[in-house]
Amino acid sequence: MSVPQPPEPLPGARLLFSLDPAVNHLNHGSFGAVPIVVQRAQQRLRDEMEANPLRFFTQGLTDRIAHTRRHLATFLGADPDGTALVGNTTTGVAVVLQSLGLGPGDEVLSTDHGYGAVSLAIGRECRRTGAESRVLPVPLAATDEEVIQSIRAALRPGRTRLLVVDQLTSATARLFPVAAIVGVAHERGVPVLVDAAHVPGMLPTSVASVGADFWVGNLHKWAYAPRGTAVLVVAAQWRERIEPLVVSWEQESGFPARLEWQATLDYTSWLAAPAGLFTLRSLGVDRVRAHNAALAAYAQRVVGDALAVAPAHLPDPGGPEVAMRIIPLPRGLATTVEQGRALQQRIAERLAAEVAVMSWNGRGWLRLCGQVYNAPEEYERLAVRLPPLLAQR
């Protein structure tokens, strides 16, 4: 089977970022990269804030936040009135968990593809309330129908108070059929929280059509927003039950203001987020998505071939527009989170390449991303240099 051809580069795209040219940045999915024009937009907002803090925080800031919220919600196909700006996906998850009113006899169901910090948040809330956290194993190669059937069989109406499912998983770069999963859960009266941390910007989506009770996603990964920008979208029947993690002056204003207003928070990342969408649109949203997905597919095959992984054993992400791919590492490597972090650091130091090394189900996985600032030769270079490094156990 031939290696897929890399996409044509987007002219000038690399120059939009201030990334260190001495490093191959192949892990956009972890912290993203903020375009220079967005950095400057945020700095202008910070300059405005520091020139007159009292005026910045007391004259029209809530209106500016609401305008930003409407802009971002419209891009995502979400109801602006049901959308709140939050710092990141895990913050949104924590807000939902503590707003549910869990207690003994209740359970939160998730899958073993869930993000580590989200799993920790579920565990903490269950310990605090006496509820149970139950994790459903889902095979990596499961079909969409098998995923749906597994979740259907695992739901326990009357006891399962929340199903948490990823739209695009972090550890395994797998796209789940969340709209169908939501439908199955709702048939049994179970509300659903969709962790869509990687979706905004990467994948075309209509949050409203997903139909989840709660949907949370970051815009600082694939939508070029400054870090600390995410949205929590809440269905109408839940909005009055949503409480902030910290009470502030907008508490009596209801959702979403009570969630967004946190006094002296630096709101400039949120206010600059539309500049990120402007950059994405300027490059061409569909063009960027197609480029990034094709580049990630090329990276998976090139590095997979170098590690002697047969094409049939390279996991399918479940959709053609996924810009993250994983490759199994030789057995015995990165079998724990700590070992994965150590190997990731070693690759960064010795190969000048930033990658993600994940540990999932006792196996180490290399996760590579495609972004407009990347070039095929970066992955080709990694493919040449990585096998000798991994052999040095």
Q: How does the average pLDDT of the chain come out, rounded?
A: 96
Sheet holding 363-369, edge to edge: 324-328, 363-369, 356-360
Count of C-beta atoms within a 10 Å radius of residue 187: 11
Q: Phi, psi at residue 97, to the nearest 5°? A: -60, -45
Q: CA-CA distance, 134 to 290, in Å (whole number)?
A: 37
Q: CA-CA distance, 286 to 3, in Å (whole number)?
A: 23
Tell me the one-letter amino acid at 47. Answer: D
Count of C-beta atoms within a 10 Å radius of residue 262: 17
Q: CA-CA distance, 165 to 176, in Å (whole number)?
A: 8
Write out the DSSP string of 212-266: -SEEEEESTTTS-PPSS-EEEEE-GGGGGG---SS--TTGGG-TTHHHH--TT--
Q: Which tens digits make up the pLDDT trace of 315-344?
A: 999 999 999 999 999 999 999 999 999 999
**Distance of alpha carbon 179 from the chain centroid:** 17
User: What pLDDT was estimated at residue 2?
Assistant: 65
Measured at the CA of 19, the angle between CA 13 and CA 24, to 5 degrees, comes to 90
Q: CA-CA distance, 258 to 347, in Å (whole number)?
A: 43
* Whether the Cβ atoms of residue 61 and residue 267 lie closer than 8 Å to each other: yes
User: What pLDDT was estimated at residue 387?
Assistant: 98
User: What pLDDT was estimated at residue 1?
Assistant: 54
Positions in the chain short of pLDDT 50: none
CATH dotted code for 38-277: 3.40.640.10
* Whether the Cβ atoms of residue 50 and residue 393 lie closer than 8 Å to each other: no
User: What pLDDT was estimated at residue 264?
Assistant: 87
Q: CA-CA distance, 252 to 299, in Å (whole number)?
A: 51
Task: Take residue 109 and report the two structure tokens written for it.
Answer: 């169901």
* CA distance to 31, 312, 314, 359, per residue, from 335 (Å): 23, 22, 18, 5
Structural domain spans, the chain: 13-33+284-391, 38-277
Q: Domain 13-33+284-391 sits in which CATH superfamily?
A: Aspartate Aminotransferase, domain 1 (3.90.1150.10)
Bridge pairing between strands 363-369 and 324-328? antiparallel
* Whether the Cβ atoms of residue 239 and residue 255 lie closer than 8 Å to each other: yes
pTM comes to 0.96
User: What pLDDT was estimated at residue 263?
Assistant: 80
Task: Take residue 273 and report the two structure tokens written for it.
Answer: 């987020």
Residue with tokens 């815009």: 219
Write out the DSSP string of 157-203: TTTEEEEEEESB-TTT--B--HHHHHHHHHHTT--EEEE-TT-TTTS
Give bridge partners of residue 357 from the DSSP assignment: 366
Element (H, E) at 283: helix 273-283
User: What pLDDT was estimated at residue 4?
Assistant: 79
* Whether the Cβ atoms of residue 169 and residue 140 lie closer than 8 Å to each other: no
| Region for residue 161 given its phi and psi (left: phi exceeds 0; alpha: psi -120 to 50; beta: otherwise) | alpha
HSE value, Cβ hemisphere, 13 Å, CA-based, for 237: 6
Length of the chain: 393
